[in-house]
Amino acid sequence: MTPMMRSLKNNNFNRRIFLGSSAYTLMMPLSGFAMTTDQATDLVVRAVSEINKVISSGKNEQSMMRGFEDIFDSFGDVNMIARYALGREARSLPDADIKSFTKAFKIYVSHKYGSRFREFIGGQIDVKSSRKVKQFFEVKAKAVIKNQEPLELIFLVSDKSGEPLFFNIYVEGINLLLTERSEIGALMDSNGGDIKATIRKLKNFF
Protein backbone atom coordinates (compact mmCIF):
# COMPACT_ATOMS: atom_id res chain seq x y z
CA MET A 1 0.00 0.00 0.00
CA THR A 2 1.48 3.33 -1.06
CA PRO A 3 1.80 6.32 1.29
CA MET A 4 -0.75 8.14 -0.88
CA MET A 5 -3.33 5.42 -0.29
CA ARG A 6 -2.63 5.49 3.45
CA SER A 7 -3.11 9.27 3.66
CA LEU A 8 -6.64 9.41 2.21
CA LYS A 9 -8.64 12.32 3.63
CA ASN A 10 -11.80 11.50 5.56
CA ASN A 11 -14.03 13.68 3.37
CA ASN A 12 -12.80 12.02 0.16
CA PHE A 13 -13.18 8.60 1.77
CA ASN A 14 -16.78 9.32 2.80
CA ARG A 15 -17.50 10.59 -0.71
CA ARG A 16 -16.23 7.30 -2.16
CA ILE A 17 -18.47 5.37 0.24
CA PHE A 18 -21.41 7.38 -1.09
CA LEU A 19 -20.44 6.92 -4.73
CA GLY A 20 -19.73 3.23 -4.29
CA SER A 21 -22.97 2.51 -2.48
CA SER A 22 -25.57 4.91 -3.87
CA ALA A 23 -25.36 3.52 -7.39
CA TYR A 24 -25.57 0.02 -5.96
CA THR A 25 -28.62 1.00 -3.90
CA LEU A 26 -30.40 2.21 -7.04
CA MET A 27 -30.01 -1.27 -8.53
CA MET A 28 -31.79 -3.01 -5.66
CA PRO A 29 -35.55 -3.53 -5.35
CA LEU A 30 -37.37 -1.23 -2.97
CA SER A 31 -38.26 -2.80 0.35
CA GLY A 32 -38.90 -1.84 3.94
CA PHE A 33 -35.69 -1.26 5.91
CA ALA A 34 -35.75 -3.85 8.67
CA MET A 35 -32.15 -4.81 9.37
CA THR A 36 -30.63 -3.70 12.68
CA THR A 37 -27.12 -2.65 13.63
CA ASP A 38 -26.73 -5.87 15.59
CA GLN A 39 -27.64 -7.98 12.54
CA ALA A 40 -25.17 -6.13 10.32
CA THR A 41 -22.46 -6.48 12.95
CA ASP A 42 -23.21 -10.19 13.41
CA LEU A 43 -22.89 -10.78 9.66
CA VAL A 44 -19.44 -9.19 9.58
CA VAL A 45 -18.33 -10.84 12.84
CA ARG A 46 -19.14 -14.24 11.32
CA ALA A 47 -17.44 -13.38 8.01
CA VAL A 48 -14.34 -12.10 9.81
CA SER A 49 -14.29 -15.22 11.99
CA GLU A 50 -14.19 -17.36 8.86
CA ILE A 51 -11.45 -15.20 7.33
CA ASN A 52 -9.40 -15.56 10.52
CA LYS A 53 -9.83 -19.34 10.39
CA VAL A 54 -8.57 -19.45 6.80
CA ILE A 55 -5.53 -17.23 7.38
CA SER A 56 -4.51 -19.18 10.49
CA SER A 57 -5.19 -22.63 9.02
CA GLY A 58 -1.71 -23.25 7.66
CA LYS A 59 -3.25 -24.73 4.51
CA ASN A 60 -1.73 -24.35 1.06
CA GLU A 61 -2.72 -21.44 -1.19
CA GLN A 62 -5.18 -23.43 -3.28
CA SER A 63 -7.10 -24.60 -0.21
CA MET A 64 -7.10 -21.10 1.25
CA MET A 65 -8.52 -19.66 -1.95
CA ARG A 66 -11.34 -22.20 -1.89
CA GLY A 67 -12.03 -21.03 1.66
CA PHE A 68 -12.22 -17.41 0.52
CA GLU A 69 -14.61 -18.44 -2.27
CA ASP A 70 -16.90 -20.01 0.33
CA ILE A 71 -16.75 -16.87 2.48
CA PHE A 72 -17.58 -14.59 -0.42
CA ASP A 73 -20.43 -16.89 -1.45
CA SER A 74 -21.86 -17.18 2.08
CA PHE A 75 -21.57 -13.59 3.29
CA GLY A 76 -21.39 -11.46 0.15
CA ASP A 77 -24.18 -10.38 -2.21
CA VAL A 78 -22.43 -12.05 -5.14
CA ASN A 79 -25.21 -11.62 -7.69
CA MET A 80 -25.59 -7.89 -7.09
CA ILE A 81 -21.84 -7.22 -6.96
CA ALA A 82 -21.36 -9.07 -10.25
CA ARG A 83 -24.18 -7.15 -11.95
CA TYR A 84 -22.79 -3.87 -10.65
CA ALA A 85 -19.37 -4.78 -12.04
CA LEU A 86 -20.92 -5.39 -15.47
CA GLY A 87 -22.71 -2.04 -15.38
CA ARG A 88 -25.15 -1.27 -18.18
CA GLU A 89 -24.12 -4.41 -20.05
CA ALA A 90 -25.98 -6.49 -17.45
CA ARG A 91 -29.35 -5.15 -18.63
CA SER A 92 -29.06 -6.55 -22.14
CA LEU A 93 -27.30 -9.88 -21.54
CA PRO A 94 -29.17 -13.22 -21.53
CA ASP A 95 -29.67 -14.83 -18.12
CA ALA A 96 -27.35 -17.69 -19.08
CA ASP A 97 -24.50 -15.26 -19.74
CA ILE A 98 -25.17 -13.42 -16.47
CA LYS A 99 -25.02 -16.71 -14.55
CA SER A 100 -21.78 -17.76 -16.27
CA PHE A 101 -20.22 -14.37 -15.63
CA THR A 102 -21.30 -14.38 -11.98
CA LYS A 103 -19.74 -17.80 -11.42
CA ALA A 104 -16.43 -16.75 -13.00
CA PHE A 105 -16.50 -13.36 -11.27
CA LYS A 106 -17.02 -14.95 -7.85
CA ILE A 107 -13.86 -17.04 -8.25
CA TYR A 108 -11.91 -14.12 -9.70
CA VAL A 109 -12.82 -11.61 -6.97
CA SER A 110 -12.47 -14.19 -4.18
CA HIS A 111 -8.94 -15.00 -5.29
CA LYS A 112 -8.05 -11.36 -5.82
CA TYR A 113 -9.15 -10.22 -2.36
CA GLY A 114 -8.21 -13.55 -0.81
CA SER A 115 -4.64 -12.87 -1.92
CA ARG A 116 -4.80 -9.61 -0.01
CA PHE A 117 -6.19 -11.35 3.08
CA ARG A 118 -3.32 -13.86 2.89
CA GLU A 119 -1.04 -10.93 3.74
CA PHE A 120 -2.66 -10.99 7.18
CA ILE A 121 -1.28 -14.47 8.01
CA GLY A 122 0.00 -14.37 11.58
CA GLY A 123 -2.38 -11.54 12.43
CA GLN A 124 -5.98 -11.12 13.50
CA ILE A 125 -8.97 -9.20 12.16
CA ASP A 126 -11.37 -7.73 14.73
CA VAL A 127 -14.67 -5.89 14.26
CA LYS A 128 -14.55 -2.46 15.89
CA SER A 129 -17.74 -0.50 15.18
CA SER A 130 -20.98 -0.40 13.22
CA ARG A 131 -23.34 2.39 12.17
CA LYS A 132 -26.34 2.96 9.93
CA VAL A 133 -25.67 5.00 6.78
CA LYS A 134 -28.85 5.83 4.85
CA GLN A 135 -30.15 2.45 3.61
CA PHE A 136 -27.20 0.28 4.61
CA PHE A 137 -24.77 -0.29 7.47
CA GLU A 138 -21.05 0.42 7.64
CA VAL A 139 -19.11 -2.06 9.79
CA LYS A 140 -15.46 -1.26 10.49
CA ALA A 141 -12.81 -3.84 11.31
CA LYS A 142 -9.06 -3.69 11.91
CA ALA A 143 -6.41 -6.15 10.80
CA VAL A 144 -3.57 -6.31 13.31
CA ILE A 145 -0.47 -7.72 11.65
CA LYS A 146 2.89 -8.42 13.25
CA ASN A 147 5.55 -5.78 12.47
CA GLN A 148 3.10 -3.71 10.41
CA GLU A 149 0.71 -0.87 11.03
CA PRO A 150 -2.91 -2.01 11.53
CA LEU A 151 -5.03 -1.95 8.39
CA GLU A 152 -8.64 -0.75 8.29
CA LEU A 153 -11.36 -2.81 6.59
CA ILE A 154 -14.89 -1.53 6.04
CA PHE A 155 -17.82 -3.76 5.10
CA LEU A 156 -21.02 -2.22 3.72
CA VAL A 157 -24.02 -4.41 4.57
CA SER A 158 -27.60 -4.46 3.30
CA ASP A 159 -30.54 -6.85 3.51
CA LYS A 160 -32.23 -5.75 0.28
CA SER A 161 -31.53 -9.10 -1.35
CA GLY A 162 -33.58 -10.80 1.36
CA GLU A 163 -30.94 -11.34 4.05
CA PRO A 164 -28.02 -9.38 5.54
CA LEU A 165 -25.04 -9.57 3.15
CA PHE A 166 -22.07 -7.34 2.47
CA PHE A 167 -22.15 -5.62 -0.92
CA ASN A 168 -18.87 -3.75 -0.74
CA ILE A 169 -15.52 -3.93 1.05
CA TYR A 170 -12.90 -1.24 1.52
CA VAL A 171 -9.35 -2.39 2.22
CA GLU A 172 -7.42 0.70 3.34
CA GLY A 173 -9.66 2.91 1.21
CA ILE A 174 -9.67 0.70 -1.88
CA ASN A 175 -13.31 0.31 -2.96
CA LEU A 176 -14.20 -3.19 -4.26
CA LEU A 177 -17.33 -2.06 -6.14
CA LEU A 178 -15.81 0.85 -8.02
CA THR A 179 -12.51 -0.95 -8.64
CA GLU A 180 -14.19 -3.99 -10.15
CA ARG A 181 -16.63 -1.97 -12.22
CA SER A 182 -13.69 -0.12 -13.74
CA GLU A 183 -11.61 -3.26 -14.30
CA ILE A 184 -14.45 -5.39 -15.68
CA GLY A 185 -15.44 -2.52 -17.95
CA ALA A 186 -11.88 -2.30 -19.26
CA LEU A 187 -11.79 -6.08 -19.73
CA MET A 188 -15.08 -6.00 -21.66
CA ASP A 189 -13.73 -3.19 -23.85
CA SER A 190 -10.54 -5.11 -24.58
CA ASN A 191 -12.71 -8.02 -25.74
CA GLY A 192 -14.91 -5.87 -27.94
CA GLY A 193 -17.87 -6.23 -25.58
CA ASP A 194 -17.86 -10.02 -25.97
CA ILE A 195 -19.12 -11.40 -22.65
CA LYS A 196 -18.01 -14.97 -23.41
CA ALA A 197 -14.46 -13.84 -24.16
CA THR A 198 -14.51 -11.77 -20.96
CA ILE A 199 -15.63 -14.81 -18.95
CA ARG A 200 -12.78 -16.87 -20.43
CA LYS A 201 -10.30 -14.16 -19.43
CA LEU A 202 -11.67 -14.06 -15.89
CA LYS A 203 -11.28 -17.83 -15.58
CA ASN A 204 -7.62 -17.55 -16.56
CA PHE A 205 -6.68 -14.77 -14.12
CA PHE A 206 -5.80 -17.18 -11.32
Domains: count for the chain: 1
Residue 172 is assigned to a structural domain of this protein:
yes
DSSP lists the bridge partners of residue 143 as: 125, 151
Residue 1 is assigned to a structural domain of this protein:
no
Q: What is the pLDDT of residue 145?
A: 86
Residue 5 is assigned to a structural domain of this protein:
no
Helix (H, G, I), strand (E, B) or coil at 4: helix
Is the pTM above the cut of 0.75? yes
Q: What is the pLDDT of residue 166?
A: 97
Q: Which domain holds residue 76?
A: 34-203
Cα-Cα-Cα-Cα dihedral sign, residues 107, 109, 110, 111: positive
Q: pLDDT, tens digit, for every residue of 40-59?
A: 999 999 999 999 999 999 99
Residue 6 is assigned to a structural domain of this protein:
no
Residue 154 is assigned to a structural domain of this protein:
yes
Residue 14 is assigned to a structural domain of this protein:
no
Per-residue pLDDT of the chain (206 residues; tens, 9 = 90+): 433 233 333 333 343 444 444 454 444 444 445 789 999 999 999 999 999 999 999 999 999 999 999 999 999 999 999 999 999 889 899 999 999 999 999 999 999 999 889 888 888 999 999 999 988 999 999 999 888 889 999 999 999 889 999 999 999 889 999 999 999 999 999 999 999 999 999 998 86
Q: What is the pLDDT of residue 52?
A: 94
Best CA proximity match to 180, nearest among 72, 97, 74: 72
Q: What is the pLDDT of residue 181?
A: 95
Helix (H, G, I), strand (E, B) or coil at 19: helix
Residue 24 is assigned to a structural domain of this protein:
no
CATH of the domain at 71: 3.10.450.710
Number of neighbours of residue 16 by Cβ within 10 angstroms: 17
Best CA proximity match to 113, nearest among 161, 163, 172, 56: 172
